[in-house]
């Protein structure tokens, strides 16, 4: 953990594993494992400014924005990993007991996607699922002898060490305050699975059911070859539908290319035949990925190529390169795309 820069010792080179750890220290270390440093550093600055929020902004009276731990607590709060106490405070100086740590670790590492409901103060077993999640990963130190036992620096290091190599789940929907309209008309996410194309992704529950065409098409976007299939989804019908009957095309879609097309895709991005700006090379759900902007007609689309074992998946959101809401929605959608591990489709054998 020290070699990876997650924890540090004291000036005399001791680690003092038996020392207690407080909520601020624990949150800062956990966030450094889960999120890039630049994301944490920009968290407070990127909080939206609005005066009509029903759910209040990140504002604990005992967490000054200038405090050394404030940015980490902001990142944890924004992702639903911490919520503070009923009195509205965070109590950064207080110790962390085992069940509190189990909850933060379970939420942070995606062992559960959301905070599980607490059925009131009489429900003393609210912590049971979180403890069971850690037990299933063999991440409970043998020194833990009581559920309310305060954890020390050594136990903190061991729990994070045992979880740190888990493939992280898609990050939760950001909290960052809610308007009255968002509270009255909540939006949830549904999962779509297609075993024919080894594809899993999530979409809004207020959108129509995704529609998959077994034959793709060339639509003027790189890599300038026809895809093998296309999954259309999203709220808005595209303006370029042709033919009779109801239009299934949407302003969001996922194209599937053969893995043999990988070189053609990389060449198209590298040679920049049209306007292409490569934003990022990264890993998404264990798949190498390229995030780019591409000018098509009057739009700047945001796109992602995810290089899986069975297919190359290409997420496209029309005009997301010039629309802040679509731009942020793209970042959320791409994190939900996964490849189903299993049998390769028959036509690929």
- Among 147, 151, 155, smallest CA distance to 130 is for 147
112 and 207 in a common domain: no
217 and 158 in a common domain: no
- Among 99, 72, 100, 70, smallest CA distance to 85 is for 100
CATH number assigned to the domain comprising residue 215: 3.40.1000
Domain final residue, candidates 113, 147, 163: 163
Is the pLDDT at 335 greater than 70? The verdict is yes
Provide the residue range defining the domain that includes 81: 23-163
**In which element (H, E) is residue 314 found?**
strand 311-317
Percent of the chain with pLDDT over 90: 38
230 and 128 in a common domain: no
Mean pLDDT (the chain, rounded): 81
pLDDT per position as a tens digit, 77-106: 888 888 888 788 899 999 999 999 999 998
259 and 219 in a common domain: yes
116 and 196 in a common domain: no
Higher-confidence residue: 46 or 343?
46
Q: Are 258 and 228 in contact (CB under 8 A)?
A: yes
Q: Give the C-alpha separation, 129 to 142, whole Å.
A: 19
pLDDT per position as a tens digit, 258-293: 999 999 889 888 886 567 888 889 999 989 999 999
State the Cα torsion 77-82-87-91 to the nearest 10°.
Answer: -100
Q: HSE, CB side, 13 Å, CA atoms: give it for residue 16.
A: 9
Residue 284 falls within a domain, yes or no?
yes
224 and 157 in a common domain: no
Is the pLDDT at 344 greater than 80? The verdict is no
308: Cβ contacts below 8 Å, ≥ 6 apart: 198, 259, 287, 339
Residue 282 falls within a domain, yes or no?
yes
Residue 46 falls within a domain, yes or no?
yes
State the Cα torsion 17-23-25-30 to the nearest 10°.
Answer: 90
Confidence band, pLDDT 50/70/90 cuts, at residue 329: confident
Across the range 320-328, mean pLDDT stands at 83
Residue 263 falls within a domain, yes or no?
yes
Q: How many CB atoms lie within 10 A of CB 11?
A: 6
Confidence band, pLDDT 50/70/90 cuts, at residue 232: very high
pLDDT of 246: 63
131 and 78 in a common domain: yes
Residue 334: C-alpha distances to residues 17, 219, 290, 344 (Å): 39, 20, 11, 22
298 and 247 in a common domain: yes
157 and 238 in a common domain: no
Is the pLDDT at 184 greater than 80? The verdict is no
If one counts the domains in the chain, the total is 2
Tell which phi-psi region holds residue 315, choosing left (phi > 0), alpha (psi between -120 and 50) or beta. Answer: beta
Percent of the chain with pLDDT over 70: 80
Is the pLDDT at 245 greater than 80? The verdict is no
Q: Are 96 and 21 in contact (CB under 8 A)?
A: yes
Confidence band, pLDDT 50/70/90 cuts, at residue 167: low
245 and 98 in a common domain: no
Q: Give the C-alpha separation, 348 to 77, whole Å.
A: 45
Q: Give the C-alpha separation, 347 to 349, whole Å.
A: 6
- Pairing state of beta strands 276-284 and 53-55? unpaired
277 and 231 in a common domain: yes
Determine which of 128-132, 143-147, 159-163 has the lowest per-residue pLDDT on average: 128-132
Is the pLDDT at 322 greater than 50? The verdict is yes
Assign 246 to helix, strand or coil.
coil
Q: Give the C-alpha separation, 170 to 192, whole Å.
A: 15
Residue 168 falls within a domain, yes or no?
no
pLDDT of 201: 95
Residue 174 falls within a domain, yes or no?
no
Residue 4 falls within a domain, yes or no?
no
97 and 214 in a common domain: no
Confidence band, pLDDT 50/70/90 cuts, at residue 22: very high
Q: Are 259 and 312 in contact (CB under 8 A)?
A: yes
Q: Are 65 and 79 in contact (CB under 8 A)?
A: no
Residue 308 falls within a domain, yes or no?
yes
């Amino acid at each position: 953990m020290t070699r990876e820069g997650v924890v540090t010792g004291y000036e005399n080179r001791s680690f003092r594993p038996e020392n207690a750890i407080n909520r601020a220290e624990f949150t800062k270390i956990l966030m450094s494992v889960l999120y890039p440093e630049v994301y944490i550093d920009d968290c407070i600055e990127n909080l939206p400014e609005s005066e009509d929020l029903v759910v209040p902004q990140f504002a604990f009276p005992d967490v000054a924005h200038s405090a050394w731990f404030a940015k980490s607590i902001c990142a944890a709060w924004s992702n639903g990993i911490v919520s503070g106490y009923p009195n509205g405070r965070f109590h950064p100086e207080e110790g962390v007991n085992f069940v509190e740590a189990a909850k933060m670790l379970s939420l942070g590492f995606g062992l559960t996607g959301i905070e599980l409901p607490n059925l009131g103060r009489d429900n003393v077993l609210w912590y049971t699922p979180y403890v069971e999640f850690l037990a299933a990963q063999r991440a409970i130190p043998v020194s833990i002898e009581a559920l309310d036992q305060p954890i020390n620096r050594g136990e903190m290091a061991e729990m994070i060490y045992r979880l740190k190599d888990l493939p992280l789940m898609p990050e939760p929907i950001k909290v960052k305050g809610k308007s009255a309209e968002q509270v009255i008309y909540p939006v949830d996410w549904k999962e779509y699975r297609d075993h024919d194309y080894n594809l899993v992704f999530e979409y809004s529950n207020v959108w129509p059911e995704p529609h998959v065409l077994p034959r793709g098409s060339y639509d003027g976007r790189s890599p300038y070859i026809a895809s093998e299939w296309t999954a259309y989804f999203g709220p808005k019908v595209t303006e370029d539908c042709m033919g009779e009957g109801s239009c299934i095309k949407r302003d969001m879609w996922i194209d599937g290319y053969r893995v043999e097309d990988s070189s053609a895709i990389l060449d198209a991005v590298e040679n920049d035949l049209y306007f292409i700006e490569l934003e990022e090379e990264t890993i998404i759900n264990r798949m190498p990925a390229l995030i780019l902007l591409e000018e098509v007609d009057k739009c700047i689309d945001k796109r992602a190529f995810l290089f899986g074992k069975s297919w190359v998946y290409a997420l496209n959101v029309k005009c997301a390169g010039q629309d802040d809401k679509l731009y942020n929605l793209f970042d959320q959608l791409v994190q939900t795309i996964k490849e189903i591990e299993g049998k390769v489709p028959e036509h690929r054998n």
